[in-house]
């Protein structure tokens, strides 16, 4: 009788150990699978030849003999070239993100012209971040980061002067402009609705 009792005890111990081992293995396999599923995927590196993107942009708009005339620049960038260049200059001098730096391999990153052009064009045309990949040679996530950093920098650098309520002097200047244009007493017009 003790023989069968020992067999039952051994069987109970063996079943208990098997259950613990199975639970341990299941738990570790589940954790491993969760880690693999939730593990951030590395993006495939795409050699975009960003230097070529800067060169093309420079030759098209900023060289001594640009491909496109100033009127085309004004239409595409929604501002004059001198205004754009003053913004680029200020951002590249005062905001570290807009300074061109070398990466770990010694290659230059995107130029301030490329970053600002991507941001301004997205704002001007309302297009998605991947629209400028082929021309400016920067990926969608980089273009969106350029837009975010550009907006933050513009608010930081120009907010006090341009993003405020008009002063009495501003209002008087707007009234004077309206009067010269044949609209006395009007400070602005949006879709033929007059503000007085």
Please give the share of the chain, as a percent, with pLDDT higher than 70.
88
The per-residue pLDDT for 117 is 94
The per-residue pLDDT for 8 is 76
Banded pLDDT at 39 (limits 50, 70, 90): low
91 CB neighbour count, 10 Å cutoff:
23
Nearby residues of 178 by Cβ (< 8 Å), 6 or more positions away = 184, 185, 186, 187, 188
Nearby residues of 99 by Cβ (< 8 Å), 6 or more positions away = 92, 112
pLDDT (average), residues 41-48:
73
pTM (2 decimals)? 0.65
For residues 196 and 188, give the distance between their C-alpha atoms in angstroms, rounded to a whole number: 8
pLDDT (average), residues 82-106:
92
* Tokens 């098997």, located at residue: 18
pLDDT tens digit sequence for 140-193? 888 999 999 999 999 999 988 888 888 899 889 988 988 898 888 877 665 555
Between 4 and 15, residue with greater pLDDT: 15
Residue 3 structure tokens: 């023989």
The per-residue pLDDT for 196 is 55
pLDDT tens digit sequence for 49-84? 788 888 999 999 999 999 999 999 999 999 999 999
Contact predicate 129/140, CB 8 Å: yes
């Amino acid at each position: 009788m003790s023989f069968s009792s020992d067999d039952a005890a051994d069987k109970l111990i063996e079943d208990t150990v098997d259950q613990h081992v199975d639970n341990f293995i299941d738990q570790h396999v589940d954790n491993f699978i969760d880690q693999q599923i939730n593990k951030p995927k590395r993006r495939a590196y795409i050699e975009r030849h960003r230097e070529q993107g800067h060169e093309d942009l420079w030759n098209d708009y900023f060289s001594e003999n640009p491909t496109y005339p100033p009127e085309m620049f004004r239409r595409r960038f929604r501002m004059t070239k001198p205004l754009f260049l003053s913004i680029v200059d200020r951002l590249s001098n005062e905001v570290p993100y807009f300074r061109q730096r070398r990466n770990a391999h010694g290659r230059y990153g995107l130029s301030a012209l490329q970053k600002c052009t991507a941001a301004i064009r997205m704002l001007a045309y309302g297009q998605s971040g991947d629209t400028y990949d082929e021309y400016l040679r920067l990926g969608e996530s980089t273009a969106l980061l350029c837009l975010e950093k550009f907006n933050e920098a513009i608010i930081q650098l120009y907010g006090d002067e341009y993003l405020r309520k008009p002063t009495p002097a501003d209002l008087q200047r707007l009234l004077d402009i309206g009067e010269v244009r044949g609209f006395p007493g009007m400070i602005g017009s949006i879709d033929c609705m007059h503000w007085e």
